Structure 1
């Protein structure tokens, strides 16, 4: 498993660690209007899946704003930001921050994505910060498990991976 810390303290990630070349596991999360959404809803598109602990924190907020900006420049790409935040909180946060180019989704109900992608922090029941690029055939082509949850991901590598995925 990826070795991850939160404020320099080691945390335990539950679930299966994903590797490049794996078929992306399907998952069910909730949209901001409480409808179930799964990976199959984005069939045929390249997906950048960004998992974050909470949109209401500085790094998560900056990351989501950055990917929202990048999303406006990409074709046939869907960016998904997934957290354990309640859908109502995500809706409020998106409205307050002008987020329109990506989907914010909630894994709070079942933590299904968290477990299937190995990003569920046992001690906090939050998702760790990670990036997954999934091509249009649902094959994982890029992964970054950020080693310290309070750090930013490598935006350039993630965007380059999205541009290379088909």
Structure 2
């Protein structure tokens, strides 16, 4: 089981840890218009899933902007998804205020489907733990990073390299 802290305090992450080589667990999250989005909706594509506690915080905002900046260089067969437990309305506002166009922001607020499937729901906070997943066209997990301290940045370069390794 993954052990992380948030602001140096240990948090409980129920569920199982997703590892490289696993088949990506299915999930249902909400788009900013409240429509359901599943893993199957991007079947046949490479997915970089960037998980943040809340878009309205500094590190989460920077993480989302960094992957949006990189998305254009990945090619058409790559989808970048940012998932948080923020309300879809808050995500939509943040996207509009920050001019985000190249990635999808998705909400796991309703039932924490993604958080439970990927072992990311911080029980004490009802937020998702910061993490990165790269999933190939056949739904195999090829890269995982559970960030040990929730207020730290992920290793952007390793995640980007993992996507590029699948597109070459």
Q: Calculate the TM-score normalised by the size of structure 1.
A: 0.98
Q: Which structure 2 residues correspond to residues 104-143 of structure 1 after superposition, within 5 A? A: 104-143=105-144
Conserved? CA contact 1:134–1:165, under 8 Å: no
Residue 61 of structure 2 is matched in structure 1 by: 61
Question: 1:165 Cα shift?
Answer: 2.2
Q: Calculate the TM-score normalised by the size of structure 2.
A: 0.97
- Map Cα deviations across residues 56-87 of structure 1 (whole Å, 9 max, x no partner): 00000000000000001111110100000010
Number of corresponding residues? 166
Gaps of 5+ in 2: none
Q: After TM superposition, what 4+ stretches of structure 1 lie above 6 angstroms from structure 2?
A: none
Q: Which structure 2 residues correspond to residues 23-62 of structure 1 after superposition, within 5 A? A: 23-62=23-62
Distance 1:140 1:53 in 2: 21
- Map Cα deviations across residues 102-157 of structure 1 (whole Å, 9 max, x no partner): 00000000101000000100100100000000001000000000000000000000
CA RMSD of aligned residues (A): 0.7
Secondary structure, aligned partner of 1:73: helix
Gaps of 5+ in 1: none
- Map Cα deviations across residues 8-47 of structure 1 (whole Å, 9 max, x no partner): 1111112111010000011000000000000000011100
